[in-house]
Amino acid sequence: MHNFTFKNKTEILFGKGQVQEMRSRMPNDKKILFVYGGGSIKKNGIYDDVLKTLEGFDYVEFSGVEPNPTYETLSKAVEIAKTQDIGFILAVGGGSVIDGAKYIAAAAHYDGDGWDILVNGAPVTTALPIGAVLTLPATGSESNGNSVVTKKATSQKRAFGTPVVQPEFAVLDPSYTFSLPTRQISNGVVDAFVHVIEQYLTYSVNAPLQDRFAEGILSTLIEEGPKALANPTDYDTRANVMWSATMALNGLIGQGVPQDWATHMIGHELTALYNLDHAVTLAIVLPPLMYVQQDKKRDKLIQLGERVFGLQMEDKDKLIEETIKQTQNFFEKMGIRTKLSDYELAADEVTKAIDNLKKNGHTALGEHQDITPEIADRILTLAI
């Protein structure tokens, strides 16, 4: 096991009705910026719950944070935070809204253009405190310090991460996910699944507990994901998906072990160019990546097949083949097509994506930094 340093400061308020617990956790001597997205929370009752919780607090609303939140939109909120002396941000939404809130929180305390944080690595030493109400289980953003922001003007999608912007609390009420569109549940489950895979499917460093925690999340998502699609208002199922998605990327399972974020990096280029949903790109990239990297990931692929998919085969090559097939089948079962051709993309589009990968300097991906653009090309070509 490698050395590690781990702390997760977010207080999880999990369960039905927990939104009211926010009252004792928000400052009543400071102005709160209530940030949300496109307004779906007004249709499903979450907005009303939040307003009730905010009664007696001094707050201002900021709506319109889009999926893949943009610098352009967030800059307006930063302006409000700076001019209206905001002291706390309440983010109500999915990963995009919470990622956006993190940018606002950091930029509000930054003397200059906040974009510096994303492109020039300007250090974030202070930020507005954030509270989150999660409406879409997927990214884990509610209890980590990571944020991804896009600058529309230059088509740049950049990330930053620091515990300074990690939410102080996160309300996880499974009933808040009942009204989510099917597509968002599909995406959320697949996103969480791949987050786990990226921290697990590498090589062994003799860290059996991390392995078993990762396998526990994968097994739970495989079991509960299809149920979440079939029975949208089954509370326990949604609770299990929600808790799994948070545990998938709150830092815990990745401590002391190698990681491989190649699927995410290659997928990002497909989203940037062809506007595919983030989770869709992961479902497209992961199976051929497993196939191409199978020698490097051999032991873990076998372990995944045996422990998570319950496969027992003498012929380990066949077992690996079947493990990859079952992974792909799971994505399809979650309602996500896994081939580029399903989205009318082919060799030309692959070439463009690989060109961008090079342009962005992502020329050595994976846990061994051996996924060159040529190998990424092979992966995407297999995905056609």
CB of 209 to a second copy, least distance (A): 5
**22 or 265, CB closer to a second copy?**
22
Does 259 bind a second copy (CB under 8 A)? Our answer is no
Size of the chain in residues? 384
Single-letter residue type at 171: V
CB of 206 to a second copy, least distance (A): 4
Helix 373-382 to helix 278-292 angle (10° resolution) is: 110
Does 123 bind a second copy (CB under 8 A)? Our answer is no
Question: Total number of residues binding a second copy (CB under 8 A)?
Answer: 41
Does 303 bind a second copy (CB under 8 A)? Our answer is no
Of the ranges 1-9, 80-88, 94-102, 180-188, which one interacts with a second copy (CB under 8 A)?
A: 1-9
The Cα-based distances of 57 to 54, 236, 326 in angstroms read 5, 32, 50
Q: Which two tokens stand for residue 122?
A: 């300007």
**207 or 289, CB closer to a second copy?**
207
Phi, psi of 68 (to 5 degrees): 50, 70
Q: Which among 162, 200, 158 has a CA at the least distance from the CA of 361?
A: 158
Question: Which residues 194-253 are close enough to bind a second copy by CB under 8 A?
Answer: 206-209, 212-213, 215-217, 219-220, 223-224, 236, 239-240, 243-244, 247, 252
Q: According to CB under 8 A, which one of 255, 259, 294, 360 is a site residue for a second copy? A: 255
**1 or 119, CB closer to a second copy?**
1
**13 or 108, CB closer to a second copy?**
13
Single-letter residue type at 93: G
Instruction: Give me the 338-357 binding string for a second copy, x by CB under 8 A, dash otherwise.
Output: --------------------
- Consecutive H or E run containing 171: strand 169-172
Does 328 bind a second copy (CB under 8 A)? Our answer is no
**Beta bridge mates, 157:** 150
CB of 232 to a second copy, least distance (A): 17
Q: Which among 128, 132, 148, 173 has a CA at the least distance from the CA of 11?
A: 132
**173 or 377, CB closer to a second copy?**
173
Helix 262-274 to helix 347-359 angle (10° resolution) is: 110
The Cα-based distances of 22 to 105, 118, 182, 200, 264 in angstroms read 18, 30, 28, 34, 33
Does 18 bind a second copy (CB under 8 A)? Our answer is yes
Does 2 bind a second copy (CB under 8 A)? Our answer is yes
Q: Which among 184, 180, 209 has a CA at the least distance from the CA of 6?
A: 209
Q: Which two tokens stand for residue 71?
A: 């610098």
Of the ranges 12-20, 42-50, 58-66, 76-84, which one interacts with a second copy (CB under 8 A)?
A: 12-20
Binding site for a second copy (CB under 8 A): 1-18, 21, 206-209, 212-213, 215-217, 219-220, 223-224, 236, 239-240, 243-244, 247, 252, 255-256
